[in-house]
Amino acid sequence: DQQVKQNSPSLSVQEGRISILNCDYTNSMFDYFLWYKKYPAEGPTFLISISSIKDKNEDGRFTVFLNKSAKHLSLHIVPSQPGDSAVYFCAASETSGSRLTFGEGTQLTVNP
Amino acid sequence: SAVISQKPSRDICQRGTSLTIQCQVDSQVTMMFWYRQQPGQSLTLIATANQGSEATYESGFVIDKFPISRPNLTFSTLTVSNMSPEDSSIYLCSVVPLAAPTDTQYFGPGTRLTVL
């Protein structure tokens, strides 16, 4: 049972444009959501998080939107840069600091 | 965040042997976790490493196969026992720093294990 799903295995975007990565979840107990970026041969790097009491959180070029009724969240990167090319993982937990359930990841490629 | 190191960074092991992976953090943490990422797949939680008591294992993972120690607030080990090629994965520890403003998990660089 895949409780966190990222339906797009890959996304290709032009430099300077917006990248939108999507994530859906099924467990209504999830209360805290995070996005991680992963380069090959490295551990995941934390990007941004959001708790269920909010519908938007912004940090520089990164914005996460949460639609709790639709059980859907998205990560927007504006403007996209070639260095953003990596695998992006969506993760969820029932409380902050507790066990994480990850999606399958989306490979983002930003073309110069 | 915290500075997290893992040893070894990679290893190639023979079937039937065991490997112990270390996770060291430069500051005290509240929670420590061990994850696995099999080739082409997402990250899966193996267990929560509890300080001074037995780890809490997820469904499908058992202590005999993946014994875990956590003697203090900054160090943990994961042993992969009686290895088979199916254990070839990246093994990652993650932590929740004690002094962090939010309870975000931060990951170590990972240990890439290949079992022949």
Q: Which residues of A touch B112 (CB under 8 A)?
A: 41
Residue A13 touches chain B, beta carbons under 8 Å = no
CB–CB contacts below 8 A, A to B: 57
Q: Tell me: the pLDDT tens digits for A65-83?
A: 999 999 999 999 999 999 9
On chain A, the residues whose CB falls within 8 A of the CB of B48 are 99
- Per-residue pLDDT at B100 exceeds 80: no
Longest dimension (CA), chain A: 41
Substitution target in A37, A38, A64 with the highest count of B β-carbons within 10 Å is A38
Judged against a pLDDT cut of 70, whether residue B101 lies above it is answered with no
**Chain A partners of B110 at a C-beta cutoff of 8 Å?**
41-43
Q: What is the pLDDT of residue B40?
A: 85
DSSP per residue over A61-94, as a string? TEEEEEETTTTEEEEEESS--GGG-EEEEEEEES
Q: How far apart are CA A51 and CA A9, in angstroms?
A: 25
- Looking at residue A89, what is its pLDDT? 97
